[in-house]
Structure 1
Amino acid sequence: MKLDWYPAWRDEAIEQLNVKNARLEKEFRIGTWSRYDYDLTAGTLLFSQDGVVKVVTEIQIAGSTSAKASNWLWAWANSNLPSELLSDAKQVRSFGEMNGVDELAQPYVTDADNQLEVLGWELSAVMSRICNGLGVYRCPSSEGGGLYLMFKSINWAS
């Protein structure tokens, strides 16, 4: 069951994320670095150029899309991920349960139009709004899906 307020609220979350990500592009050149590396043990995402780390971020994992499965999997439902990086995703699940928003409270979400990347950005935007994220980065996977990471902090490397 979706509540009447949720679609507009989610659209606002997407607009907010677009503004946040545009700021990160401008201030930290996110999206322009030649390399990124995430470390799920340390909870970091690093952006590098010519072997030199330029930007360091602390992350939480939102979830992932899978072209093979044609769905989104919330990070809180993925037993392969470290629990330290799931607290914000668990907060989203609680929000969904309290407000009757099924797509936030169920492990898997599908999209009728099979626009998985759009779905991934939409649900990551919702997490960013609920958890006051600074932005979101999508790491593409070789199978056509992506891993969506929410920034909790971002700084220039020293």
Structure 2
Amino acid sequence: MTQISSFQDVLDDSLLTAHDRQSDLLGRLEACGPEEERTWGVDLDTRTATFTGPAGTFTATAHLLGSAAPGPRSWLWAWANPQYAGPLVARAEQVRGFGEQYAIPQLRDAEVPLDAEPRQVAGHICAAAGLICGGLTHYTLDAGRGTVAALLLESPELAPTPPSAIRAARVLAEVAQAGQVRNWDRAIRGYAQWRGFTLGEAPEGLTLAAPDGTAICTLDDRGRLGQVKGSFHQA
């Protein structure tokens, strides 16, 4: 990561990588069967999340981050909840340490006011936490009464796949549509670093090269992502 002075900096660093890594999780879950035929369960005592479908079962280690609740309109970190302690909240405590190091209230303080809907806030926390903890995938779930709980998932089966320019073009387009990135130059450079792309500079912007081709990211004079072009081939 480059210089960090705000939560938005961390989001810009993490949103592309998080979206990319969620593709790895989605692929593993789809191997269990179609979404409408899958069930899931989380056992906080054993720190496991289990997904079962007609084609198989997938189990990962679950790390509880916290929850976003509409009642108090706040995010509560798991380490601040007296119900939880020990290894279950170790990743949340790791994020807290990062927040203390860079003086970022959203990652440091026990309870944080919501500035958006609970699921969006949980998603942003997950994206940031996943990157801080080494690029882990995440899962959000309904905890009742509008509360959204957030987990990081860890498993050898969720190891990052090789960088893909084809996937990068899709990730860039989908994240751009969500409108959450402020500094696209920073975001693309961070994505290249964390996912192992060869970063290049072109007159119109930045390039991400991988074994299956190159994604060309056009940035306008205000630094916003414009067109994403590519030259792709079979890896």
Structure 2 unaligned segments of length 5 or more: list them.
159-235
Instruction: Quote how far apart the aligned CAs of 1:53 are.
Output: 5.9
Offset at residue 154 of structure 1 (A): 5.3
TM-score by length of 2: 0.59
Unaligned runs of 5+ in 1: none
The aligned residue for residue 17 of structure 2 is 16
State how 1:20-39 maps to structure 2 within 5 Å.
20-29=21-30, 32=35, 34-39=38-43
Report the CA distance between 1:37 and its aligned residue: 0.6
Q: Percent identity over the alignment?
A: 22
* Larger Cα-atom Rg: 2
Deviation string 1:10-56 (CA, Å, 9 cap, x unpaired) is 22212211111112112332882521111111110000126x86111
Q: If the length of structure 1 is used for normalisation, what is the TM-score?
A: 0.85
Deviation at 1:155, TM superposition (A): 4.1
- Of the two structures, which has the highest relative contact order with CA contacts closer than 8 Å and spacing of 6 or more? 1
| In structure 2, distance between residues paired with 1:16 and 1:99 | 20
TM-superposed CA distance for 1:133, in Å, is 4.2
Equivalent residues in 2 for 1:1-158, closer than 5 Å: 4=5, 6-29=7-30, 32=35, 34-49=38-53, 54-112=57-115, 114-153=116-155, 155=157
The alignment of Structure 1 onto Structure 2 pairs a total of residues equal to 152
Give RMSD over aligned pairs: 2.3
Q: Structure 2 vs 1, CA of residues 64 and 5 (structure 1 numbering), >3 Å: closer, same or farther? A: closer
For residues 18 and 128 of structure 2, the distance between their equivalents in structure 1, rounded to whole angstroms, comes to 9
Q: SS at 2:144's partner residue?
A: coil
SS where residue 38 of structure 1 aligns?
strand
* 8 A Cα contact 1:77 1:107, kept in partner: yes
Q: Structure 2: how far apart are the matches of 1:62 and 1:149?
A: 6
